[in-house]
Amino acid sequence: MATLPQPVSRREFMKLARWIAAVTGLSVIVYPLIAFLYPKDLSETPADPVKVGPIDELPVGASKTVDYGRYPALVIHTPKGLRAYSAVCTHFACLVNWNPDAGRIECPCHEGYFDANDGSVLSGPPPRPLDPIPVSTDEAGQIIIGEENG
């Protein structure tokens, strides 16, 4: 004959609640300590080049946004070749996007527009061009951005 589960006593419930509170409180202390001792790599520019992916997967007119050090990079396969820029707008640091229909890089925050071929400002409030990033392909057809810094 099957036995019914016993109801949890108030004492057992309070014991469980204290245990959960203790674990939560401990994690609030331990997590920042671990984050302090082992910080993420937040360098402005990575020390090593970054693989973007196979050029076969980035046809002319397509773009890809990838992590590049502390900030993302925008890689575009323009009709004139591969281009890579910091994806951070030079106005107030919003992230820019490639608009293949308009053929330009756009900042959604204040309608800043950039030329995809050289990153120069086409119109809007950005005070200077996007920061260019060296881009190439290796012998295996992988798109590589950045250079050896170390």
CB atoms closer than 10 angstroms to residue 49? 19
Measured CA to CA in angstroms, residue 104 lies from 49, 67, 116, 147 at distances of: 25, 21, 5, 25
Candidate list 126, 130, 145, 146; residue touching ligand FES; CB under 6 A: 126
Per DSSP, helices labelled H in 38-125 are none
Mark residues 2-41: x for contact with ligand FES by CB under 6 A, - for none: ----------------------------------------
**For ligand FES, the closer CB: 51 or 104:** 104
Smallest gap from residue 92 Cβ to ligand FES (A): 4
Smallest gap from residue 116 Cβ to ligand FES (A): 16
Return the sign of the alpha-carbon dihedral for residues 115, 121, 123, 124: positive
Number of residues lying near ligand FES (CB under 6 A):
11
CB atoms closer than 10 angstroms to residue 75? 25
**For ligand FES, the closer CB: 107 or 143:** 107
* 129 forms part of the interface with ligand FES (CB under 6 A): no
Binding to ligand FES (CB under 6 A) within 66-125 occurs at 89, 91-92, 94, 107, 109-110, 112, 124-125
Beta bridge mates, 84: 75
Return the sign of the alpha-carbon dihedral for residues 92, 94, 97, 101: negative
The closest alpha carbon to 121, from 135, 105, 139, belongs to 105
Residues that bind ligand FES (CB under 6 A): 89, 91-92, 94, 107, 109-110, 112, 124-126
